[in-house]
Structure 1
Amino acid sequence: MRDPRLLAKPPVCRLGCLALVRNPRGDVLLVDPDYMDGLILPGGAARPDEPPHEAAARHLLDATGIALRFTHLLTVDYTPADRYLERLNLVIDGGTTTSEPSAPSRRRTGLLGACFVPVARLPAVMAPAQAARVGEALVGRVVPLLLCGQRA
């Protein structure tokens, strides 16, 4: 049963669902958004009632043409409100793929392109906070993603 007191004024927090995908060489898949400087992990906001692993898969497919299944969480990164809403970014493990990203539709995705980048080059092509987030995700700790208490 839904408690109207809990739904009357829900908190405003964006849930970012980001995909960490690597190629067999260990390079990290990044996208180049036209709305900011530097490369970022593919991903974006979850829709209302959309599970995080499904949001990450949807954004990855839209941005790169790569379809993957996500089952584990790597990192949770909280960012307080600044020029954007308060946000919680989940970095979800996409594993390793041999697929190459396709060119995204800039008009539909706001992305200029996608490419695999060697780990050593990440600090040079990403904003410091973005590179730190990826660095933490690469440490290798994994947490199962659950959906109502069951593995996603």
Structure 2
Amino acid sequence: MTLITNQNGDVLTVQTTYRSKPTLPGGAAHQDEKLADAATRELAEETGLRRRLAQILAVDQTPPNARTGATEGLNVVFDGGTLTPEEEAALSIPAKAHAEIEALVWVAPTDLDEKCDPYQARRIKHALAAREFDQALPALFRGELAA
């Protein structure tokens, strides 16, 4: 997952075809894929944005989901930075993502509780606080910077 903000401090989220509320852009890593590479790939696939993701803002443990068959896991939130006005104006859903992504949605931090699922709002707030207080961690792979 990747936290991206605009110049106003709004958070970029994606409205998927399979969730009722928007979420941070992201998805699962493929087998043998570094987490930073997975986050970079997912961000590009869902938003068209290409970013070097080297800083982790939050790690969120998730329980198993009997309904979907998903096992317990971790969601890692990378810092994708703040878009320039030009980057924001150029945002669009990539053609290959239209079956999965309905819209790119900017959410003000004050609206997170209303617009996002509670766990997602909490995750985003923690990531925003980590960024604000410069508490990001380097993304490592076998002790080396991953990105």
5 Å-filtered alignment, 1:64-79, equals 64-79=47-62
1:115, distance to aligned residue in structure 2 (A): 2.4
Give me the TM-score of the superposition, normalised by structure 2: 0.85
Residues 1:92 and 2:78 are matched in the alignment: yes
5 Å-filtered alignment, 1:38-53, equals 38-53=21-36
SS in 2 for 1:94: strand
Deviations 1:5-60 (A, max 9, x none): xxxxxxxxxxxxx0011112111110001101101000000001111111111111
Residues 1:150 and 2:141 are matched in the alignment: no
Q: Which has the higher helix share?
A: 2
Deviations 1:67-106 (A, max 9, x none): 1111111111111112332121001111111222212432
Give me the TM-score of the superposition, normalised by structure 1: 0.83
Output the aligned Cα RMSD. 1.2
5 Å-filtered alignment, 1:1-152, equals 18-82=1-65, 83=67, 84-98=70-84, 99-100=87-88, 101-104=91-94, 105-107=97-99, 110-140=100-130, 141-152=135-146
Stretches of 4+ moved more than 4 A in 1? none
Q: Identity, % of aligned pairs?
A: 40
1:123, distance to aligned residue in structure 2 (A): 1.1
Question: Which structure's CA Rg is the greater one?
Answer: 1
Which residues of structure 2 form unaligned runs of 5+?
Answer: none
Q: Which has the higher strand share?
A: 1
